[in-house]
Amino acid sequence: MPWGAIVGGAIGALGSWLGGREQAKAADRSAEVQREMYQQTRQDLGPYRDIGPKALDPLFQTAMGAAQFDENHPVWKAIMRSGAARGKLGSGSTLQALADYYGTTYQPQRFNQLFDITRLGQNAAAQTGTLGASAASGIGNALIGAGNARAGGLVGAGNAISDSIGQYYYLKSLGG
């Protein structure tokens, strides 16, 4: 009869240890999946993160008025053709028309376009950081869960063995 307590304890210990191991495997897999998802998201946001800094230098040049007006721009060509048609190519009025367009339309539009690009990069970088923090938290929780499951399995196994030994000696003391 006392041997039944030992066998029962061994079975309980094995079940507890195996259950803890399976829970730990699931938590480890959860951490792995979260890591993979974060890496995929980081890769997906990469082009948007990278484009923002590339627009900074042209943005600063535009803001400082140092950006060049593109001679291939349709408005540039139209103003120059208009000046040539009137025989005033290179005259003060043609240059004034170019300066007016550049200062009141082209430069502000260009600044806004570049600013939007930098903001796109800034948002992608912020999103990457937020998702990274969230992934780190989830991965950390999953790893803690894995550790808890392993520990719980071992504690359960220890308790089952201890209980079965106690039952063995109790039954033995009763003469069984």
Q: Is the pLDDT score of 176 beyond 70?
A: no
Q: Are 9 and 170 in contact (CB under 8 A)?
A: no
Please name which of 158, 154, 176 lies closest in space to residue 167, comparing C-alpha atoms. 176
Of 12-21, 48-57, 112-121, the one with minimum mean pLDDT is 12-21
Q: What percent of the chain has pLDDT over 70?
A: 97
Between residues 114 and 3, the one the model is more confident about: 114
Contact 124, 45 (CB under 8 A): yes
Beta carbons within 8 Å of 106's beta carbon, 6+ residues apart: 69, 73, 75
Domain boundaries, the chain: 2-173
Gyration radius of the chain's alpha carbons: 36
- As a whole number, the mean pLDDT across the chain is 84
What secondary structure, in 3-state letters, does 154-167 show? Answer: HHHHHHHHHHHHHH
How far apart are the C-alpha atoms of 78 and 71, rounded to whole Å? 10
Determine the Cα–Cα distance for residues 99 and 96; give it in Å rounded to an integer.
Answer: 5
- Structure tokens belonging to residue 64: 């400082």
Q: Which of 13, 9, 1 is nearest to 164 (CA)?
A: 9
For 7-29, write each residue's pLDDT tens digit: 777 787 877 888 888 888 888 88
What is the pLDDT, as a whole number, of residue 37?
A: 87
* Tokens, residue 122: 């800034």
CB atoms within 10 A of CB 13: 21
